[in-house]
Chain A
Amino acid sequence: GESVGLHLPTLSVQEGDNSIINCAYSNSASDYFIWYKQESGKGPQFIIDIRSNMDKRQGQRVTVLLNKTVKHLSLQIAATQPGDSAVYFCADPTGTASKLTFGTGTRLQVTL
């Protein structure tokens, strides 16, 4: 069945470095993806989204890249800060009610 999964359950980066969080998907018909950030004790927070007619989308310090050929997307965070420490999920809405399928997440740890 369709799934959205994440590589590497934990990613440790030094403050100021760039972070890259990867996500693979299996449904070639998926045409829209959303990235969420979840800080400890809080609900997931929307970061950025991308549609399949785009290869790249940029936000504030974040960039999402989509490679439809290999069904892979990545979230890049520039100049990682301690406040970026969180679990990051990619999600794939399906159906008319936009039900989200989440992976288990990647925990980003920022070291000083």
Chain B
Amino acid sequence: DAGITQSPRHKVTETGTPVTLRCHQTENHRYMYWYRQDPGHGLRLIHYSYGVKDTDKGEVSDGYSVSRSKTEDFLLTLESATSSQTSVYFCAISPGQGTNIQYFGAGTRLSVL
């Protein structure tokens, strides 16, 4: 998976609890992205980062926050998880610099009960 590690791979949590998902890359790529994938919706962008401490919202950012303190790590936090956030979450990276291809991690399956 192109030097991308997502952790945890599976998580079950309860409504109202905070959850943090981690994406770690070894490619030194500038751009990192968080997507969620739900049946019938394909992949939808939550947040993305274009550098250390530089992040921006995607189309489904409500209820999520992100942080990028190092090039290699991009964290996605659900401050207070809800059942509607049950999904599969994918991290992706891209070098930029004229290359638009994004490379995806293996995903994290999150269940909020």
Contact = CB atoms under 8 A, between A and B. Distances in A.
A45 B100 contact: no
A49 interface: yes
B42 A105 contact: yes
Interface residues of B, number: 25
Given A42-B107, A104-B40, A99 B45 contact: yes
Interface string B37-51: 000111111001010
A4 B44 CA distance: 12
A103 B44 CA distance: 9
Nearest to A99: B45
A99 B94 CA distance: 10
A45 B107 CA distance: 12
B31 interface: yes
Given A34-B100, A34-B101, A43-B1, A98 B31 contact: yes
Contacts of B48: 97, 99
Contacts of A99: 33, 45, 48, 58
B90 interface: yes
A69 to B, nearest CB: 23
Given A89-B43, A99-B45, A44 B58 contact: no
Interface of B: 1, 31, 33, 40-45, 48, 50, 56, 58, 90, 92, 94, 96, 100-107
